[in-house]
Amino acid sequence: MQTAVIRLARTAASRYRWTVCALLFFATVINYMDRQILGLLAPVLQHDIGWTQVQYGRIVIAFSAFYAVGLLCFGRIVDWLGTRISYALAMLIWSAAAVLHAAVGSVAGFAIVRALLGIGEGGNFPAAIKTTAEWFPRRERALATGIFNSGANIGAVFAPAIIPPLALAFGWRAAFVIIGAMGLVWLAVWLALYRSADTS
């Protein structure tokens, strides 16, 4: 009887950790879709906002510089707050930043929201890597890491297929809101389903 209970518990834990891996995968898909919106809609935005190529370059630099800051900061935050809270915080920051793109209309405004997006998105990989280390035994960590990392490529493939049609149908501001809202949906699912490995 005791052996059967142990086997059942191990099976449940195994299924759950692959659910966790799926959450990491979808977070990474959203991460890469959010960061590509600006580049995909740059011609439309350049026409509407009127920025120069130099100004656009500065907006891109703002994201890259603050993404590096986000990586450094969230590396520490994940160790401090744990994976559940820190991943939720990162997703909240970058999804809110993605949605806020719809509210700005100047070069400075875009630079600010891109910087905020960079900080939030910097939390994805530190949190995902630590979550994998907590939930997966060594023999499965490389596979789990490969799965969630593939979300970057999936996001890069889906973004050009989804974002321009959204902008064409509803406007560029709505495209930012819709893609950003995907992160908020993920956040709700994460908070509902995820538990830290040390409390399992």
Between the CA of residue 44 and those of 40, 48, 147, 153, 164, what are the distances in Å?
9, 6, 34, 24, 10
Choose the CATH number for 33-199 among 2.60.120.260, 3.30.70.100, 1.20.1250.20, 3.50.50.60. 1.20.1250.20
Would the pLDDT of 129 be above 70? yes
What pTM, to 2 d.p., does this model score? 0.89
Per-residue pLDDT band at 125 (split at 50, 70, 90): very high
Reported as a single tens digit per residue, the pLDDT across 141-191 is: 999 999 999 999 999 999 999 999 999 999 999 999 999 999 999 999 999
pLDDT in tens, 130-140: 999 999 999 99
DSSP assignment of 25-51, as one string?
A: HHHHHHHHHHHHHHHHHHHHHHHHH--
What is the rounded distance in angstroms from the CA atom of residue 180 to the CA atom of residue 97?
A: 8
pLDDT tier, 13 (very low <50, low <70, confident <90, very high otherwise) = low
